[in-house]
Structure 1
Amino acid sequence: MDTVSVDVTTVRSAASIASARESTRDFLDRLVRPLAAETADTVVLVVSELVTNALRHAGGTCTLDLTAHPDSIEVAVHDPSPQAPRMRTPDLNGGTGGFGWPMVNRLASATAVARRPSGGKTVRAVVPR
């Protein structure tokens, strides 16, 4: 099992999100059992959405953990907010979002949100290989 932890600590920065995507691609490129290109793109999209949500809605910092399992890639984003993501009607006109969490739930085979004993939460998404 391969695991990597990536700190994404720049406050609400597009560079932070790009760095998370780049770190994810690096992690996926180093896997002994490579992913199909479409699956790798899906993992990167899930990372991008979860990190974006954490930076936008959960205090501006997060940590990303990626774990390769035999049949899946697990994406875990830890942030300081106890507030769980919620489904909401996407805003088609005002630009306030609402697309990311539903998309992650469609792309992942499983999602979970857990409160952390030290405070905050962990949002997990499992993408099948």
Structure 2
Amino acid sequence: MSTTRPYPPPGEPGPDAGGASPDHLPPPGGQVRRLHLVGASGAVPRARDFTRQALHDWGWLPAATADHRAAAEDVLLVVSELVTNACLHADGPEELRVSFAGKVLRLEVVDLGAGTPAPRTPHRAGRPGGHGMFIVQRLCLDWGVVRNESGAGKTVWAELAAPA
């Protein structure tokens, strides 16, 4: 779980360690893409397709370089892992939010689960399963969990760097 800074409220990009910065403001016009996934079949491919379209609209795709392609693939992998975790451990995702501002892309998956995701420790690379949050931890600038104020559920968020 995030240890580098306080958890931001769901739906809002997080502050830097020293406070809010222009890179963490919502995209122009406050644009945040939302995909409702309540009861949706095929939540993981739907979430990937939705995110892929957002990356296209924001100029990440089609990728101009190998680094840009790798950054987009990392985003799609993290979306897959977060939504899969919600499907397997939290009775399914409620909503996916994707936002991009400056140099940071933020992903949020809302679910009604009570558990708290965490990388398995120690990580056992040769064993099947249990790699999702390890992958998220490795690919992201930061990630964390925010409990819903209503008491039911949480938002798992992750932030990735934009390609240089």
**Which has more radius of gyration?**
2
Task: Indicate which of 78, 84, 92 corresponds to 1:46.
Answer: 78
Q: 1:114 to 1:25 in 2, by over 3 A?
A: same
CA 1:123/1:29 → structure 2, altered by over 3 Å: closer, same or farther?
same
Q: Distance in 2 between matches of 1:22 and 1:123?
A: 19
Partner in structure 1 of residue 35 of structure 2: 6
Q: Which amino acid aligns with 1:34?
A: W
Q: Return the alpha-carbon distance in structure 1 between the equivalents of residues 142 and 77 of structure 2.
A: 15
Does the 8 Å CA contact 1:55/1:62 hold for their aligned counterparts? no
Question: For 1:63 and 1:21, how far apart are their aligned partners in 2?
Answer: 13
The structural deviation recorded for 1:91 is 8.0
Identity among equivalent pairs (%): 33
**Do structure 1's residue 104 and structure 2's residue 131 form an aligned pair?**
no
Give per-residue Cα distances to partners, 1:68-115, cap 9 Å, x unaligned: 01011000011001211022244855x5x2100010000000011110
Alignment partner of 1:76 is 2:108:
yes
Structure 1 segments unaligned to the other structure (5+ residues):
none
Q: How many residues were matched structurally?
A: 124
Q: AA paired with 1:69?
A: A
**Who is 2:153 aligned against?**
120
- Using the alignment, how far apart are the partners of 1:117 and 1:90 within structure 2? 35
Q: Distance in 1 between matches of 2:153 and 2:113?
A: 4
Name the structure 1 match of 2:48.
21
> Would you tell me which structure has more strand in proportion to its own residues?
1
TM-score (norm 2): 0.69
Aligned to 1:84, what secondary structure does the other structure show? coil
Deviations 1:21-66 (A, max 9, x none): 00000011001x4362211111111000000000110012321000
* CA distance in structure 2 between the aligned counterparts of 1:10 and 1:90, rounded to whole angstroms: 33
* Deviant stretches of 4+, over 2 Å: 89-93
2:37 alignment partner AA: V
2:93 counterpart (57, 61, 65): 61
